[in-house]
Structure formats: structure tokens, C-alpha cells
Amino acid sequence: MNPMRQLDRRAFVVGAASAGLALGFDVPFGGPTAVRAADGTREVNAWVVIRPDDTVVIRIARSEMGQGTLTGLAQLVAEELECDWSKVTTEYPTPGQSAARKRPWGSFNTGGSIGIRASQQYVRRGGAAARVMLLQAAANEWKVPAVECVAADSVITHAPTGRTVTYGKVAEAAAKLEPPTDVELKDPRDWKIAGRSMKRLDTADKTTGKMIYGIDVRLPGMLSAAIRACPVFGGKLKSFDEAKIAGLKGVGKVMRVGDDAVAVIADTWWRAKTALDALPIVWDEGDNAKVSSASIAGWLEEGLDPAQPAFVGNADGDARGAIAGAARTIEAVYDYPYQNHAALEPLNATALYTPDKCEVWTGTQDGERAFTAVVQASGLPSDKCDVHKVMLGGGFGRRTVPDYVRQAVLIARQMPGTPVKLVWSREEDMTHGRYHPVTQCKLTGAFDADDNLTGLHMRISGQSIAASSTPELLKDGMDPFTFQGVASSGEAFANIGPARLGYTIPHLLIDHSMRNPHVPVGVWRGVNGNQNGIYLECFMDELAHSAGQDPLAFRCKLMANHPKHLAVLDAVAERVGWSSPAPQGVFRGIAQQMGLGSYVAAAAEISVTDTNRIRVHRIVAATDPGTVVNPAQIERQIAGSFVFGLTGLFYGGCTVKDGRIAQTNFDTYNAMRIREMPKVEAIVMPSGGFWGGVGEPTIAVAAPAVLNAYFAATGKRIRSVPLSNLDIVFA
Amino acid sequence: MAKLSINGQMIDIDVEPDTPLLWAIRENVGLTGTKYGCGIAQCGACTVHMDGVAMRSCGVLVSEAVGRQITTIEGLAINGVLTRVQQAWIDHDVPQCGYCQSGMIMAVAALLKDNPQPSDADIDDAITNICRCGTYQQIREAIHAAANV
Ligand code: FES
Ligand code: FES
């Protein structure tokens, strides 16, 4: 069974009018007569539908893209619901339903590793409220006080008499009750379903080819669209010569999409794409066509000059004075390139437009942002629009931006009544990304005569994600997210969780000279922690070596005030055996960071051949995410994060030539394969009391741990990514 | 027009002979378990079996597939009974997003047919598909588990 079933649209119309009561919770549960499920079953509340056969349908607003959020959130609801886990399935509500009910499911945003932690409280309350209602319904039927009834595994027992009834039998009655105004949540220490390594709910269909991704959507009478947007960002479409492809089999309309793209419609995508490849197109590329990686690098380099103005992200004491008066200073310059997300499923969306309705089927990391794009592009009122989410073939941040949804609607508007599936070719996907931002960094460390670190200036120069994609998040022009992982203790990063520097340095200055080239950038799994991890953690190694100290001991001295940062670092050092020699020919590196609300550290063991061939033998990675919902899924996220981070280190890197991205497919933008996969040993060590993310944070320590090990092996520092540019590859 | 043998059935499709087999399978036959990832034989998401051999179907033309026995992910399980590879994938909770996994499973099924007890090095040589989610560690475990059933 596909767990991604949508709510039935007709049922939704029934419930919409009466729903949306605020009940004193962060997020309302929906009214007593709210939405029915597809089969007509009345919901207990917005989160929970229980069928007469005891099947439990848990509604999830965040998107599943492989990270396990669907299963984790269902575990949290089920925990409070006290239902039988083996009977749980899930479904997505639509953003249109949410809007009509005053957002009972809260945010749909699934970026920044917030899927579970940002909604854990209200989904647990949703489950708890449903349990209370089910207990009350049973008590009413038995005419006994509800306090005499207990629930476990979807069975309600009247303790004094031993009578029992299953949830499925009382769900219809429970749905008619007033929801409770307050509920108590369990202490995580008492969890039985949450906190355990439950198997994912969405695996079976992924092994048989049955799982439906956006690219697999089929609607009656549907046509397919292939698209090409101006290869130079900011450029426009001038003209195209439709006559040249007239008469090609299966090919229909050729159309403008916005002011910068052209699409070909055909009965199959392959025919549309083949025709598009043959279509003569004239672009107005504009001035951006003169920009190259070299011109961008030159501009960023100017920003490294300490005299250039910069936004201050973290400061203590007088770093400039400490550097000027130091017994000794050392300095290094690093850089980090553009990277494409390259989710394995190319971007796509299917749209059906009629003058009074517009619906879209797509994989999106933020249903509500996609919904807004549909409303804007269709020109229809929001209650005439909706988005039906399907499984994502990877997201990694790229599917937070609904540019492809907008295009699909603009195409469908030109063909009212005909559903159209827009699929980007891999080449379109590679060249129209929302890339990892490009930055450089100059670090200067000051030592006193006794080799104590007295000052550090970390000057970042380069691009801001917020300026490019979410300018509303800028604070007086500054992008606080630039300082992810090196932020001051006061910085909250409200929506993605704290990302504080783990060192106390007497005189500190971390600042950002913002320079925004024309290439659009966005959140790329791990976000700004990725480059900050390399910059700071590799430089920490440089500082330690220049002071003749062990990299671990050097860090520990600066981390006394940061016990949680220190605990994960100690954990990896101990597990990797830092205090004893590595095996013959094997060298070690370490790194730590806090990001997206979690504390992480890694130790790498690598060997390097005479011809610069690297084998990463072993990675030990520790994470303290505060609270753990599914340890096995966290281990998988950690292992996967090293594939993502080390792919970026070894192979990543999009270069700009004539204003466009030069890499067009996996032949020039490689990805790690199984041969290159190190053994990842994950240490999951929740210290309790907070909720951190797990899908991304460890990416930030992957590259610096390996780079520091490379120095240990060779005595050479690498300060530039990707390694393939330096002719350093996997063995 | 072309006549293809897919999952044991002969199917007539209206398609140019130079169409990649991948797109004929997905769009003309309507079996969407076989995925498009790159179109240039780099990622392996489109892996199918042709006469029992793993092939990247984006690099095979329909004209080259005529007269061959093609098996897709949908045809792997016989009468709904999952193969040991599929079962190992479930037991080890391998897929993350799952988009690469049809191709992975097809590649692994072909490997185990030729080499029922592959070593880690054999796996490294034979399995060159891309998984962007990074499920390689679980894939390796599941291959060994399937080999030892
Ligand atoms: S789609 Fe065929 S190998 Fe990538
Ligand atoms: S599971 Fe997502 S690409 Fe492999």
C-alpha cells in the first residue's frame, strides 16, 4: 500500500466549512466534525483517522524525501495515541486543505532538518488529544468514568471490570466529542514507540517500483513538457523558430514560459525533449554572460581585505588589536565552490488548469510554498488551487524552491483542461540550480610568546543565501545564517536551531563581506555549516600544528566552556583510538561543529598513495541531537551525510563560464559510489532536554576531518574544494 | 512501431526505433519503476535486465531491445513473491528516498546471479550506480545478507 495517499478531495470539501477551532494549543486540532478520510471514515482529529478495522491513518504535513521524517513523526503521534504500531499508515494533507482549516497542521516546510523537531510538540499533542477522545468515547459507551479506562496498543480496557474495546469501534463516537482543551505529554523516558528503531513505513513500495514520485504521475489525457530556460541566469528568451520542428511526431505546442524559458509539449516527454533539442532558440543573455568563476573569485578575494566593510557575526575582545600585538601570527585563505544538489530525481511538476481550478502534483519540500507559487502563477484565488504532494526522489534543499512548480502552472495555463507534466532534463536541472553559495575565507590567528591562542579573525567573503532566496530573513542587510556553526552564544537562528561556536578565544572577530554574484543560491544540505566547518576546523588544525600541539588537545583547551561540543569530540576521539597510534600507513583527522541544533564531531582514518589517491577507511561520527526518535534512521542519515559531504569535497564544484554553469550531468559532476564509501560508525548520544536536527549537521564535519587526516598523512594543507581539481581522487 | 518482450509479455508500442528503451518502458509501456536520473548511462537508475544481464536502459535503443527478454523492477518478483534481494532491502531498511533503488536492486540481482557470494571488492566493481542519499552502507549489508539466504 502506498503510504502517500492523498485525502479525498470531495471529503475535504465536506469538512472544510466547519473546521478550524483554536483550542488553546499551538496548533488547533480541527473541529469536532472535520475532514473524513478517503473511504469516508470520520477523522478523530486533524492528525488521526481510525478506521473500523483499527487501521490508524496518521496525517503528516512535512515531506518525506528519504530522511525518515514520515516515520519519525508517525512514531511521535502513535506514542501519545497509544495505538498498535503495526496498524499505522500515513497520508499527506494538502496545503489547500490546511489553508481552508486555518492551518491545523502548522508549517509544511521540510528544510533545515526541522521536520521532526519543529513539529514534535504539536503532533504529540495531536496524538494525545485523540487518545483522550477515544477513551472518553469508550467510557461514555460503558457509562463509566473515563479515568477508569486505560489505552494500550489500540485497545481500551475498563480496569475495574476488564471490559475491552478496540479504537476502531469507538473512533466514530470519539470524532463527535469536543477535543480536550489541554493534554499532558509523556516524558521521553517512558516512550515505547518513539525513541526506538522502528522500520520505515515507506520501504516496501520502494523495492518493487510501485512508489510514485512526481516524475511518475499520470493523469488521463496528460501531455508532457520539456523546458529550457536561458542558460545565463537573469537572461531572457528572445525568440525561437517553431517552424523548424513542425510536424515532428507527437509534438504539439511550443510556448514561452515566463520571460526566460521555452517549452515544447508532446504526447511523450522523450518526443518533447527531442523536439526541444532541435528547436533554434535565441537568448538575450545580458551582461551576466561576461561573468566567470575567475571574475567571481577576484571579486570575493577583495572582500578578504580586513579593511573592507563587513557584517560582524561574532566578536569578543579586540581581535584586530590582538593580531597587531601578537608575538606571532599565522594566516590562511580557503575557498568553497558552488555545488548543485543533484537529487537523483530531476525536478518536475504536473499541473491541471481550468479557468476555475488549478491543481498540481509534485514532490516539494514545502507544500505551502509550492501552493503559493500555484496561486500566483495561476492567477486564481487560493481556494481554487491545491498541491498534491508525492514522494520526493531526493531534495537536499533544492525542492524548497518552487520555480519548477511555477513553470508547470504557466504551461498548463496555456492549455486549459489538459494536464501537463513538466520534467526537467538532468542538464536543465544541473544548470538551473539554487547552488550552494560560493565563499572564500581568510583566517588569522594570534599567539602569545607561550603559544597560547590569543586572537582569531575569520573573514568570510562571498555569497548570502538569504539575499538570494529569502531576503526577508536579512537583518539590516546582514545574513545571520552565514555564521552557521561559528555564531555567538546569543544567536538563536530561530527557525533552524542554534549553531554556536564551540571555542572560547579571548579576542575574536568573525565577519562577512557580502558579495552576491548573479548565480542564484539556496540551502544545500548542511547549508553554511559546510564551508564554515572546513574553514574553522582545518584552521584549528593549522593553529595546533603551528603551536606544536596535538589537534585534539589544542581544541580541548579552548572548549572548556562548551561541554556539549566537547563531549561529542571526546566521543569520536575515544572510539577512533586517538590516544594510540593509527594502523600502519593510516592517518587521522578530527573536526567538530554545532549546527541545526545538534552537536556533532567526526574522526576520519585515511591513507594516501604516492600518487595522491585517497582511501577513506573509517569514519567515526558522533551526534548529540538532544532527543532521539528513531536511532536506526539517525544512523542512516549520518552515514548518508558523509556520502553527501565527501562527494562535495572530492567531486563537487560547479564552475561559471560565460555566465552559465559549465557542468551539465554526472559525467562532469560526479558522485561517490559504493567503492568509495567508508565504513561509518555512528555514535548517537542524546543528552536530553532539546531537539536538534540530524539529516544535515554531520555533513559539516565530513570534509574537515578528511582534510585534516590528509595533512597528517602528507604534511600538505588543502584549502580548496573540490579535490578533483587538484588531481586528488579516491583510490 | 515496435514489439518488445517485457516481464514475459509481448507488447506492441508506437515509438520511434531510436527511442531509448528507458523512455519506451516508462512512457509507452507505462512501467514507471525504472527511473530516469541522467540519460547518459552514468547513474544506473534506469537499470533493467536484458536476457538476464543488467543494462542501463537509457543507453539502449528500442531497436536494440527487440527480440530480447527484458525484465524491469516490476517483473522481478514472481507471483508477488519478493526476491531475496528485495526482501533483504526491506529487512535492512535500505531505501531513503528510494529513487535509485529500482536500479540498485536490478544491478544487485544480476550480480548475485553471476556471483552468488560476492566479496566487498566484487561489490565495489559491479555496483557503480549512484545513490545521492548515500545508502551504500546498507546496500552492502543487504547484498551480503541476500547472498547468504
Ligand atoms: S538514467 Fe540511465 S544511467 Fe542514469
Ligand atoms: S535512496 Fe535516494 S538516491 Fe538512493
Query: Out of A393, A636, A666, whose CB is closest to B99?
Result: A393
- d(CA A640, nearest CA chain B) in Å: 4
For ligand 1, the distance from its centroid to the CA atom of residue B133, given in whole angstroms, is: 16
A208/B16 Cβ within 8 A: no
Q: Which of B38, B94, B136 sits opposite A643 (nearest CB)?
A: B136
CB contact residues (below 8 A), chain A span 206-245, against chain B: 206-213, 215-216, 218, 224
pLDDT for the residue numbered A30: 46
Q: What is the pLDDT of residue A236?
A: 98
Residue A616 pairs in a beta bridge with: A606
Residue A343 C-alpha from the chain's centroid = 12
Tell which residue, A97, A117, A78, has the closest CA to residue A36: A97
DSSP string, B61-105: BHHHHTTSEEE-GGGTSBTTBPPHHHHHHHHTT--SS-TTHHHHH
Q: What is the pLDDT of residues B89-148, one digit of tens each?
A: 999 999 999 999 999 999 999 999 999 999 999 999 999 999 999 999 999 999 999 999
Answer yes or no: do B37 and A209 touch at CB < 8 A: no
Q: How close A295 comes to chain B (CA, Å)? A: 30
Show the domain range for B114: 84-147
Q: Model pTM?
A: 0.94
CA distance A412 to B142: 43
Q: Which residues in chain B have Cβ-Cβ distances shorter than 8 Å to A392?
A: 97
The CATH number of residue B31's host domain is 3.10.20.30
Question: What pLDDT is stored for residue A492 in this prediction?
Answer: 57
CA–centroid distance, residue B113 to ligand 2 (Å): 23
Q: Closest to A269 (Cβ–Cβ): which among B27, B76, B124?
A: B27
Q: Are residues B58 and B95 in the same domain?
A: no
> What tens digit of pLDDT does each residue of A186-240 get?
999 999 999 999 999 999 999 999 999 999 999 999 999 999 999 999 999 999 9
Q: Is A202 on the interface with B (CB under 8 A)?
A: yes
Q: Note whether B71 and B8 are same-domain residues.
A: yes
Dihedral (CA of A642, A643, A644, A650) sign: positive
Grid cell 513538457 — which residue?
Answer: A225
Helix (H) or strand (E) run with residue A69 in it: helix A69-81
Name the amino acid, one letter, at A572: V
Which segments in chain A show pLDDT lower than 50?
A: 1-33
Domain count, chain B: 2
Q: What is the pLDDT of residue A548?
A: 97
Same domain, B62 and B104: no
The domain spans of chain A are 3-206, 214-286+347-423, 293-339+435-730
DSSP state of A93: P
Same domain assignment for residues B108 and B53: no
pLDDT digits (tens, 9 = 90+) for B45-81: 999 999 999 999 999 999 999 999 999 999 999 888 9
Q: Is the dihedral of CA A574, A579, A583, A587 positive or negative?
A: positive
* C-alpha cell of residue A549: 600541539
Domains A214-286+347-423 and A293-339+435-730 share a fold: yes
Q: Which residue in the block uniquely carries the three cell numbers 543533484? A: A342
Q: How many A/B residue pairs have CB atoms within 8 Å?
A: 175
Question: Of B52, B75, B98, which marks where a domain is finished?
Answer: B75
Q: Amino acid identity, residue A13?
A: V
User: How are beta strands A598-608 and A613-624 bridged, if at all?
Assistant: antiparallel
String of DSSP letters for A154-213:
TEEEETTTTEEEEHHHHHHHHHTSPPPS--PPPPGGG-SSTTS-PPPTT-GGGTTT-PPB
Residues of A in contact with B30 (CB under 8 A): 218
- Give me the amino acid identity at B104: M
- Tell me: do B92 and B34 sit in the same domain: no
Residue type, A341: H
- Are B52 and B13 contained in the same domain? yes
Interface test with A, best of B132, B140, B143 (most A CBs within 10 A): B132
C-alpha cell at A145: 468514568
* B89 and B24 both lie in a single domain: no
Ligand 1 pocket at CB < 6 A: B 22, 36-39, 41-46, 56, 58
CATH class of the domain whose range is A3-206? alpha beta
| B10 and B63 fall within a common domain | yes
Do residues B33 and B67 both lie within one domain?
yes
Bridge partner list, A158 = A149, A163
Residues B6, B70, single domain; the answer is: yes
Q: What is the pLDDT of residue A117?
A: 80
Structure confidence at residue A116 (pLDDT): 79
Q: What residues 121-140 of chain B have any CB closer than 8 A to a CB of chain A? A: 123-125, 127-140
Using only C-alpha atoms, what is the Rg of chain A? 27
Which CATH number covers residue B100? 1.10.150.120
Q: In this complex, do B98 and A206 lie within 8 Å of one another by their Cβ atoms?
A: yes
Ligand showing the shortest atom-to-Cα distance for residue A396: 2
Q: Distance from the CA of A61 to the center of ligand 2, in angstroms?
A: 22
Which CATH code is given to the segment(s) A293-339+435-730?
3.30.365.10
Name the domain boundary from B75, B104, B129: B75
- Regarding whether B88 and B71 lie in a shared domain, the answer is no
Which of A200, A210, A392 lies nearest to residue B93, judging by beta carbons?
Answer: A200
Interface of A with B in 664-683 (CB under 8 A): 665-667, 671-675, 677, 679-680
Which residue, A709, A703, A701, is CA-closest to A499?
A701
Indicate the pairing of strand A453-462 with strand A507-514.
parallel
Confidence (pLDDT) at A690: 92
Largest CA distance in chain A: 83
The per-residue pLDDT for A36 is 64
CB-based contact A344 B73, cutoff 8 Å = no
Dihedral sign of CA atoms A576, A715, A640, B147 in order: negative
Q: With CB atoms and an 8 Å threshold, state whether B140 touches A207.
A: no
- Report pLDDT for A494: 59
The CATH class that applies to domain A214-286+347-423 reads alpha beta
State which of B75, B92, B126 marks the end of a domain: B75
CA distance A272 to chain B (A): 12
